Amino acid sequence: MITKEYIITSAQGIHARPATTLIRLTKSYKSVISIKKTDKIVRLNSILNILSMAIKGGETITILIEGDDETIAAEAFDHFFNEELKAL
């Protein structure tokens, strides 16, 4: 299992557009991918799961990735949170 922490750089946090992008990214991999904020963990397979986290800009979240392609998936999520999220 790979766990990575990210600080949300988008001032709007994770709203519908980035949540949709996260779901598409998750579906590209066989690994089980979840998001954790404080003590709440949800799978990244539903927009409602993601939006229920109410993730705001500046907050820290953790991505949990477990599966055969977890290393490749972790690289893709690094790119999303460090580069793409700023533009959404």
pLDDT in tens, 36-54: 999 999 999 999 999 999 9
Domains recognised in the chain with CATH numbers = 2-87 (3.30.1340.10)
Would you say residue 23 has pLDDT above 80? yes
* Per-residue CA distances from 70 to 13, 30, 65, 84 (Å): 25, 8, 6, 20
How do residues 50-78 score in pLDDT, each as one tens digit? Answer: 999 999 999 999 999 999 999 999 999 99
Residue of 15, 36, 37, 56 with catalytic role: 15
pLDDT at 87 over 80: no
Told to judge if 15 belongs to the known catalytic residues of this protein, a careful annotator would answer yes
87: left (phi over 0), alpha (psi -120 to 50) or beta: alpha
Structure confidence at residue 60 (pLDDT): 97
Question: For the chain, what's the residue count?
Answer: 88
